[in-house]
């Protein structure tokens, strides 16, 4: 995981893998273009976001809950603006992962 993360370091937002952790396991995925797409949609008044979740995308990890794949998809497009895998499914945890995406959206949107 660390090698994949280090190889993804890029310009404003680093590559595709934005964050990762071991306990609970999580990997957060999105590019700068996805954050800009989200910003553009919100600016144009069509910023409705749907959250989809599914299991069985990867093997179960020892001593952790089942990993689920989450996708944040705009209402009128099938392309996700943010995706993540995690073994923690508590509301507060999921919101903190999504908040990471929103902080980077502020970065690509001049702090707004």
Q: Per the structure block, which two tokens stand in for 13?
A: 């937002």
Instruction: Provide the 10 A C-beta neighbour count for residue 27.
Output: 20
Mean pLDDT by runs of 10 across the 112 residues of the chain is 56 78 94 93 89 86 92 91 96 96 89 82
Q: Which helix (H) or strand (E) holds 50?
A: strand 49-54
The domain locations on the chain are 2-105
Q: Check: CB of residue 87 under 8 Å from CB of residue 64.
A: yes
pLDDT at 2: 58
pLDDT at 3: 62
Residue 62 backbone dihedrals phi, psi, to 5 degrees: -60, 135
Determine if the pTM surpasses 0.85.
Answer: no
Distance (Å, rounded) from C-alpha 86 to C-alpha 20? Answer: 9
Cα within 13 Å of Cα(18), Cβ side: 23
pLDDT at 74: 93
Q: Minimal CA–CA distance to 19: which of 33, 55, 9, 11?
A: 9
Q: Where are the alpha helices (DSSP H) in the chain?
A: 2-7, 32-43, 91-108
């Amino acid at each position: 995981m660390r090698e994949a993360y280090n190889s993804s370091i890029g310009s404003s937002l680093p590559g595709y893998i934005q964050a990762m952790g071991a306990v609970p396991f999580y990997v957060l995925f999105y590019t700068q273009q996805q954050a800009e797409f989200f910003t553009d949609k919100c600016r144009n008044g069509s910023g409705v976001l749907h959250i989809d979740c599914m299991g069985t995308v990867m093997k179960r990890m020892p001593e952790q809950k089942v990993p689920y794949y989450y996708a944040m998809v705009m209402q009128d497009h099938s392309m996700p603006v943010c995706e993540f895998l995690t073994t923690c499914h508590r509301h507060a945890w999921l919101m903190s992962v999504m908040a990471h995406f929103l902080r980077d959206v502020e970065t690509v949107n001049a702090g707004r």
